[in-house]
Amino acid sequence: MNAQSQIAAKAAIDPENFALANCLRALAIDAVNAANSGHPGAPMGMADAATVLFRKHLKFDASAPDWPDRDRFVLSNGHASMLLYGLLHLTGYEDMTIDQIRNFRQWGAITAGHPEWGHAKGVETTTGPLGQGLATAVGMALAERALAAEFPDLVDHRTWVMLGDGCLQEGIGQEAISLAGHLKLGKLNLLYDDNDITIDGPTSVSFSEDVPARFGACGWHVISCDGHDATALDAAMTAARAETSRPTLIAMKTTIGFGAPNRAGTAKAHGSPLGDQEGALAKAALGWDAAPFDIPADLAASWQEIGARGAKERKAWEATLAASPDAKAFNDRVSGKLPENYAADVQKARSDLFAKPQNVATRKASQIALESLAAAVPAMIGGSADLTGSNLTRVGAVDRQYTADMPGRYIGYGVREFGMAAAMNGLALHGGFKPYGGTFLVFSDYARNAIRLSALMGLGVTYVMTHDSIGLGEDGPTHQPVEHLASLRAIPNLNVFRPADAVETLEAWDIALRSPATPSLMALSRQNVPQLRESGPENLSEKGAYILRQYGEGRDVTLLATGTEVALAIEAAEKLHNEDYAVTVVSMPCWELFDAQPEEYRESVLGTAPRIAIEAASAFGWTRYVDREADVIGMPGFGASAPAERLYSEFGITTDAIITLAKTQIGK
């Protein structure tokens, strides 16, 4: 059977679905050609499945994009963005106009090269880095199940994901499918675009595993079908909706660039425009004769009906919500509102620290803070990447484990740092939860790309990263973070906290919970530190840096420090003061918040005297506050395996080193 006969055979199965799918294919061809940039092949290949999904199975209402009980649709292979934009435009999302489609990938348009959350209604998450959409969708499914347990009459929806081979080749893909299968997330459904093509050519170049068998081994319900057969796709999606005890994979055998006579089924259809000639040939083969960006009136009307078919169900749900005694609690949860008594609970936790100072590691201080805050904020949902006993992320209020049988408030992510971070993004995006999860700071590298997406999307996710320096000791340099603080501080819109004591740790948590549009990362110590703050109602950490101690009149030198090194700075300052030097100690728990303060405040904190920075990490980045890296007492390279005290001594992070450098600076 030649290509034209194959197209005709697929069209005959369900002519209406085929014609509607051609609207998506035509828009993808036109938009990518107009931009002279993009990926037409995947939208053309997945158009039949997307049409069946939106036409018959997806619960949504285009007129109410943020309806809390809508199904979530995630395009994990985000390079196929024109498929999503076409769906949103055709079904009637108000902001996705034809002008936005015409301006695909152009400055100021909401039709970015890869879908970006917050730019266009109907885009549930930012996708592009392959595999993260899938893992984020796992978080959405986790959230749906947990919220449904609390509000059973108000929450009942599914998470649908489209993905390709790249999402499954990335390591995060395996982390995601393994966790979802283990927790039996039965309302998670994947549509796998099995087209045998990657950028480098046929998948046989690098990928030969049995994907359905792999999913089956991870506990998934697996269905295989022809991705261009609308009847088979409908049956597969119906079966997926009927299966509630396991997540479902629908492996769809498709042709990339379906309809393009010279590029279909080849890598040439993946990441380059078809061009005018091939685009015209593809349209002719598909039986499409409308002008560029023009949708025939009858097909446009049918798509509008698809976009409106969920309105009745949405209005019925709204009536149920209005009559529910849980309406206020539910609305507060999905809006991210903190409980009315939240400020009082924070103040009580602060007062408790002042009444009974805690000389503990900041990871323990974090647990102490969580004991109060998790009890006060029902939206908090915790977890750890198999390091609960080290991260100290589990407290009484979230003690119930999230299992396949019961969605508790504590998720055992296993050794899946990347998957955990992306799933937390999904929990936050879904609404109703303020997620946090823990691992070692050195393993933030495994999670870094998802942390970056937290910051890019502006999500209030909290990363609990313990064992923050060479102070972890004997585990050695493979576990001792040196460059990590600097690299994380380089990410825009990420608040990196390295608190000095129990009070600053509580304050960091308070800031994190009150920052719905900025993720927070806590760098917490293994070794004990003294509680340095003794009184005061103000959250001084909110300023990013502040004067903690002042010895003598005026200033001869200013000591800047974070975390465990603040106590060292104070000890050195006291000794210098005994020799009649005037010394100011500045604690800098969060550079990002300090840099956001008015210039007048920053100048008052930093002063004009010589400055020295102390941090048991790389000196990189500190020259924004000190004159040169030689003014930083930190790590020149990697650490070593030995007790913490020996390491600090060997690497010269000591009070004596601070005093010597301070006297040198003062003498200049």
At 551-591, the pLDDT tens digits run 999 999 999 999 999 999 999 999 999 999 999 999 999 99
* 255 in Cβ contact with 264 (< 8 Å): yes
The predicted pLDDT at position 2 comes to 76
Cα–Cα distance between 479 and 471 in angstroms, integer? 10
* Among candidate residues 498, 536, 504, 526, the one with its CA nearest the CA of residue 613: 498
Mode of pairing for the β-strands spanning 583-587 and 557-561: parallel
pLDDT tens-digit readout, 113-168: 999 999 999 999 999 999 999 999 999 999 999 999 999 999 999 999 999 999 99
State the average pLDDT over residues 629-636: 97
pLDDT per residue over 171-200, tens digit each?
A: 999 999 999 999 999 999 999 999 999 999
pLDDT band at 668 (very low <50, low <70, confident <90, very high): low
- Tell me the CB-side half-sphere exposure of residue 600, using CA atoms within 13 A: 0
Residue 11 and residue 51: Cα distance in Å, rounded? 13
Tell me if 265 sits within 8 A of 198, measured CB to CB. no
Residues at the annotated binding site for substrate?
Answer: 39, 270, 363, 390, 467, 475, 479, 526
- Residue keyed to tokens 């940039």: 37
Catalytically annotated residues:
417
d(CA 217, CA 613): 52
Q: Reduced to 3 states, what is the DSSP secondary structure of residue 188?
A: strand
pLDDT at 321 over 80: yes
Which residue, among 255, 236, 223, 234, has the nearest Cα to 54 in the 3D structure?
Answer: 234
Nearest to 228 by CA among 194, 259, 253: 253
Please enumerate, by residue number, every residue annotated as part of a binding site for thiamine diphosphate. Answer: 79, 128-130, 166, 195, 270, 443
Question: What b/e sequence results for 135-150 when a residue is b if at least 16 CB atoms lie within 10 Å of its CB, and e otherwise?
Answer: bbbbbbbbbbbbbbee
CA–CA gap between residue 39 and residue 34 (Å, rounded): 12
Question: 116 phi and psi, to 5 degrees?
Answer: -120, 120
Q: Which CATH superfamily is domain 341-530 in?
A: Thiamin diphosphate (ThDP)-binding fold, Pyr/PP domains (3.40.50.970)
Residue 93 near residue 121, CB atoms below 8 Å: yes
Burial 61-86 (b: 16+ CB within 10 A, else e): bbebbebbbbbbbbbbbbbbbbbbbb
**Mean of pLDDT values over 278-290:** 98
Which two three-digit tokens encode residue 79?
């390079």
CB 93 within 8 A of CB 307: yes
468 and 563 Cβ atoms separated by less than 8 Å: yes
| CB within 8 Å of 357: residues ≥ 6 apart | 502, 530, 531, 534
Bridge partners of residue 462, in order along the sequence: 436, 520
CATH classification of 3-316 is 3.40.50.970, yes or no?
yes
Report the C-alpha gap between 443 and 431 in whole angstroms. Answer: 27
Q: What is the pLDDT of residue 350?
A: 98
Rounded mean pLDDT, 531-543 = 96
User: What rounded mean pLDDT belongs to the chain?
Assistant: 97
pLDDT tens for each residue of 399-455: 999 999 999 999 999 999 999 999 999 999 999 999 999 999 999 999 999 999 999
How would you list the strands of the sheet with 380-384, edge to edge? 410-412, 380-384, 434-440, 462-466, 520-524, 495-497
> CA-CA distance, 126 to 530, in Å (whole number)?
42
Q: How many whole angstroms separate alpha carbon 663 and alpha carbon 668?
A: 9
Q: Which amino acid is at 93?
A: Y
What is the reported pLDDT for 264?
96
Residue-wise pLDDT for 54-111, tens only, equals 999 999 999 999 999 999 999 999 999 999 999 999 999 999 999 999 999 999 999 9
- Biggest CA–CA distance in the chain, Å, is 94
> What are residue 407's DSSP bridge partners?
402
- Cα–Cα distances in angstroms (integers) from residue 363 to residues 63, 384, 563, in the given order: 46, 13, 11
- How many H-runs (helices) and E-runs (strands) does the chain carry? 26, 18
> CATH topology of 3-316 equal to that of 341-530?
yes
**Residue tagged 């700075």 (tokens):** 569
Query: Does the pLDDT at position 295 exceed 80?
Result: yes
Residue 422 · residue 136 · CB < 8 Å: yes
Residues 6+ apart with CB under 8 A from 49: 162, 191, 193, 227, 233, 252, 254
CA angle 173, 179, 181 (to 5 degrees): 100
Going by C-alpha positions, the residue among 57, 121, 36 that lies closest to residue 84 is 121
Q: Does residue 1 surpass a pLDDT of 70?
A: no
Does CATH place domain 544-667 in 3.40.50.920? yes
Per DSSP (E only), the strands in 231-332 are: 248-253
Can you say which residues are annotated as belonging to the binding site?
Answer: 39, 79, 128-130, 165-166, 195, 197, 270, 363, 390, 443, 467, 475, 479, 526
Q: CA triplet 334, 338, 344: central angle to 5 degrees?
A: 165
pLDDT band (50, 70, 90) for residue 3:
confident
How high is the pLDDT of residue 5?
87
Domain ranges for the chain = 3-316, 341-530, 544-667
- Annotated binding-site members for Mg(2+): 165, 195, 197
